[in-house]
Amino acid sequence: MDLFKIDFGLTFWMLVAFLITLFILWKFAWPAILKGVDKRADLIDKGVEYAQDAKKQLDNAQEESKKYIAEARHQQAEIIADANRMKTQIIEQARDEAKVAARKEMDNAKLSIEQSRKEAEQNLRDQVSQVALDIAGRVTRGQLKDPVAQKKLVNQYLDEIETKN
């Protein structure tokens, strides 16, 4: 068979061509290509790792932030509740104070009214006594031997006062 004959010329050139190709590629192509490919693979691996780490961190951060937010919400609610409580307290206090103050005022007013009434009474008493003294004086000054006359005189004076007032 022709096909199984090994031709010397072809074998020779094949060997030469293949070895030259191998040499050239070994020297000038493969180091650069394989290094490049390996480096890029490393870079990609690292990139993926980094991204995974970053994602994990991000997840953690998010969780933390959620926690913080929940806490903040809780605190907020607490603060609002506190504020509300405080508000009512303050209002109550204010109301109480106002009540106390009002009562005091009223008491004062009552006192002053009493006083002025007492003063007025005193005045009245003074005036009455004065009047009485006047009357008595006048009575005494008149001939007040007669009780009817006396009585008539008293009434007369009393009427006088009444009309005066």
Give least dist CB 51 to other proteins, A.
16
Q: Please, are residues 139 and 150 in contact by the beta-carbon 8 Å criterion?
A: yes
Decide whether 25 or 79 has the Cβ nearer to other proteins: 25
Task: Work out the burial of residue 153: count CB atoms within 10 Å of its CB; fewer than 13 is exposed, 13-18 middle, 19 or more buried.
Answer: middle
Decide whether 33 or 98 has the Cβ nearer to other proteins: 33
Nearest to 134 by CA among 157, 163, 115, 104: 157
Measured between alpha carbons, how far is 137 from 26 in angstroms, rounded to an integer? 156
Give least dist CB 72 to other proteins, A.
44
Decide whether 35 or 87 has the Cβ nearer to other proteins: 35
Residue with tokens 């004086």: 137
Measured between alpha carbons, how far is 102 from 95 in angstroms, rounded to an integer? 10
Residue ranges in contact with other proteins by CB under 8 A: 2-15, 17-18, 20-22, 24-26, 28-37, 39-41, 43
Give least dist CB 23 to other proteins, A.
9
Decide whether 31 or 142 has the Cβ nearer to other proteins: 31
Give least dist CB 43 to other proteins, A.
5
